[in-house]
Structure 1
Amino acid sequence: MDPRSEVLLRQPELFSGKLLLAGLPADDLLGRLPDSVGWSWHAGDYQKLQARFAGRCTFAVEPPATAFDTAVLFLPKSRELTDYLLHALAATLPSRLLYLVGEKRAGVERAARQLAPFGEARKLDSARHCQLWQLRVTNSPDAPDLEKLAQRFDLKLDDGSLAIVSLPGVFSHGRIDRGTALLLEQLDGLPPGRLLDFGCGAGIIGASLKRRYPDSEVVMLDVDAFAVASSRMTLAANGLQAQVIAGDGIDGAPGECAAIVSNPPFHQGVHTHYEASETLLKRAATHLRPGGELRLVANAFLKYPPLIEAHLGRCDTLISADGFRIYRAQRA
């Protein structure tokens, strides 16, 4: 059981009615709170919850239409995303209770200050290295317009400007990170066919691929609902078409790819996880056609080449700069 869920269950009488659990972990909390429903924006957690509690969880970027009397927000990593989620929930809960739960090291005490616009918050519990805060919504805001919260910027590329749209919570929100910028400089000579942008974020790589290789099918995949929505908005802003899908890691990707291009993620909340990236390297061959390529950027300190060579083939370093390396490998 996730420690944040354990904190809630220390006072189960508070959560006995129609309850929305926003950003809930994939544990047994829905089973322990039978009148609750879940709202997830993590495809992996959503799939696990659906398998155990079919029909009781929604995967979306907006609160579900299901009526609820109380809501609990599990603190996400991003301050901007926290702000959007609190506004979205408070808008549905006039004069009702809203809870915030999170780990201390994730900054839950700081995040609790973001409750102030909606009423007076109080700390109810502190245990399992977590805190639980309660707020009665006395100042219910209008429902936020997520599209208006998007940050937009133009990315100057050799083949023209690319409009990027980024929603709160998406990696490198409102800007291009250095690793992705380096990778964009090393996308020449990809084989024709299906191109996969793994961990697409705001859609920078996928949109660039579609612009550069208009005759190729481009598929963009991310575990996060806000990233999926951002990528679709980026494509629309540039008049481009590609398939954008939600999936938990490379197992959610199609097969027979001509190339997999990625700035693979290795953060989940406040924790560092290399599982998704390492699984990509181990299983890329099963999603590539013969002769297909893997091309990715990674921090130079990560020991990816031996893993790539063990599971795919020879790994070449195309460039090393600013603490990053661009790797290329080809399936035999």
Structure 2
Amino acid sequence: MMLSAPSQLLERNIELFNDEGWLIINPADAYFTDRLTDLSLDVLHQYFDIYAESVRVIPCTILDSRDILTTQTGIFSDQKVGKHQHFFAPFLSTPQRYSNIVIYLPKAKAHYAMLIKMAASLVQQGGSIYVVGENKGGIKSASKLLSNLGHVDKVDSARHCSLLRCEVAQPQPDFDIQQSLSYFDIAVNGQEATIASLPGVFSHEELDEGTHLLLEKLPSSLRGGILDFACGAGIIGCLLKRQFPHLNISYLDVSALALYSTAHTLAESGLTGTLMAANGLHGVDEQFNHIVTNPPFHTGIKTDYTVTKRFIADAARLITSGGNLHMVANRFLPYPGLLAETFERVQTLAQTNRFSVYQAIKV
């Protein structure tokens, strides 16, 4: 049970956590809170993998897109573990005000800006917002945005990470996630749709090249149940449903922000759908005729394909006989060989200088 580097820095400053009234946002691992078992605190998870590992009981959560649209608190799922209340949610709206909030720095600057606004609305006047993150992740420039709320101090620096603190002197406005939602229009294969997207969601505010290629090459023979895996803002499933209304499409992502965006994307087209929160395909038992995906684990050059192989094996388990997996991936990655280890037939449907679209058929 290895602590992430930011959590190691927090552990090094464990004396900060002497009083009640803490909110921790997006911990990078499920183990730092184990160091605080005697302290009552809340934890907001926008990512289901760490949430599920933290509460240790939930492999998958099923949501209705209509319920997501009407949630006022933002909470998709919550679980009490000892003195700790864990929430899986895209945002947190509560009359409670926390004395201290710690944010694990996210990758995207726009996501960080949104978290700062939300934290500012949840911290009590005179309370503190802490931000912890890796130096290579941009923590050195994170103080600028934080300084809009008050004076910023560097508490500590170690493990190639930094810990910042800002005392919020003035009361801040309520957080409204609708103000963070942005909308953009796309058109593929004669189908048009308006896409809703939040900061921190893949390909925020644009249709990425790989997804566009995949949508262009999907066959018209799709039938039955479809899983839009790693759905992001719901682009693939929404376009398919508009083009082929008879399809039964489910949307899966690890991110609450993505699922919230997908629900709004569907609503923009007058559609509804079943949304699933899961870590990969772990805990998913439903069978599908097709899985369609632009998966999240093919960026960069990695020699360890353990996660990819597990996804392929799980996909084959969930696909019915005669069904298939359609996916787009960076061209230089060895997906044909990896897919051929599990699926009987693998075809390359399209290729550009950057991406390849594969079809893997379960005979």
Instruction: Calculate the TM-score normalised by the size of structure 1.
Output: 0.94
Give 2:247's aligned amino acid. Answer: S
Which residue is equivalent to 1:58?
Answer: 87
The reply on whether 1:40 has 2:24 as its aligned counterpart is no
The reply on whether 1:84 has 2:149 as its aligned counterpart is no
Structure 2 CA distance for aligned equivalents of residues 187 and 210 of structure 1: 13
Query: 1:246 aligns to what SS in structure 2?
Result: strand
Does the 8 Å contact 1:121/1:133 carry over to 2?
Answer: yes
Cα offset, 1:77, TM superposition = 0.6
Which residue is equivalent to 1:10?
Answer: 12
Structure 1 CA distance for aligned equivalents of residues 308 and 221 of structure 2: 21
Among candidates 114, 121, 134, match of residue 152 of structure 2: 121
Which residue is equivalent to 2:220?
Answer: 189
Which residue is equivalent to 1:210?
Answer: 241
- Aligned-residue Cα RMSD (Å) equals 2.0
**Residue deviations 1:133-161 (CA, integer Å, cap 9, x gap):** 01100244212321221121111133432
Which residue is equivalent to 1:28?
Answer: 31
Give 1:142's aligned amino acid. Answer: P
The reply on whether 1:324 has 2:329 as its aligned counterpart is no
Among candidates 288, 302, 308, match of residue 257 of structure 1: 288
With 163-172 and 21-30 compared, the bigger mean Cα shift is at 21-30
Does the 8 Å contact 2:25/2:101 carry over to 1?
Answer: yes
Structure 1 CA distance for aligned equivalents of residues 28 and 330 of structure 2: 28
Which residue is equivalent to 2:69?
Answer: none
Q: Which of the pair has the greater relative contact order for Cα pairs under 8 Å at 6+ separation?
A: 2
Give 1:14's aligned amino acid. Answer: L
Distance 1:272 1:102, change over 3 A: farther
Query: 2:163 aligns to what SS in structure 1?
Result: strand
Aligned ranges 1:139-288 → 2 under 5 Å: 139-266=170-297, 275-288=306-319
Give 1:329's aligned amino acid. Answer: A
Does the 8 Å contact 1:125/1:133 carry over to 2?
Answer: yes
How many pairs align? Answer: 330
With 62-71 and 128-137 compared, the bigger mean Cα shift is at 62-71
Structure 2 CA distance for aligned equivalents of residues 153 and 292 of structure 1: 32
Cα offset, 1:11, TM superposition = 2.1
Among candidates 80, 85, 110, match of residue 141 of structure 2: 110
Structure 1 CA distance for aligned equivalents of residues 111 and 310 of structure 2: 27
Give 2:319's aligned amino acid. Answer: L
Distance 1:239 1:275, change over 3 A: farther
Does the 8 Å contact 1:194/1:259 carry over to 2?
Answer: yes
Does the 8 Å contact 1:267/1:274 carry over to 2?
Answer: no
Distance 1:152 1:272, change over 3 A: farther
The reply on whether 1:49 has 2:54 as its aligned counterpart is yes
Which residue is equivalent to 1:138?
Answer: 169
Structure 2 CA distance for aligned equivalents of residues 178 and 87 of structure 1: 31
Give 1:251's aligned amino acid. Answer: H
Query: 1:316 aligns to what SS in structure 2?
Result: strand
Structure 2 CA distance for aligned equivalents of residues 101 and 49 of structure 1: 19
Distance 1:31 1:64, change over 3 A: farther
Query: 1:322 aligns to what SS in structure 2?
Result: coil
Structure 2 CA distance for aligned equivalents of residues 70 and 322 of structure 1: 49
Does the 8 Å contact 2:104/2:132 carry over to 1?
Answer: yes
Does the 8 Å contact 1:81/1:168 carry over to 2?
Answer: yes
Structure 1 CA distance for aligned equivalents of residues 239 and 146 of structure 2: 39
Instruction: Calculate the TM-score normalised by the size of structure 2.
Output: 0.86
Give 1:74's aligned amino acid. Answer: Y
Structure 2 CA distance for aligned equivalents of residues 267 and 311 of structure 1: 18
Does the 8 Å contact 1:266/1:274 carry over to 2?
Answer: no
Give 1:10's aligned amino acid. Answer: R
Which residue is equivalent to 1:72?
Answer: 102
With 134-143 and 309-318 compared, the bigger mean Cα shift is at 134-143
Give 1:152's aligned amino acid. Answer: Y
Taking only the aligned residue pairs, the percentage that are identical comes to: 34
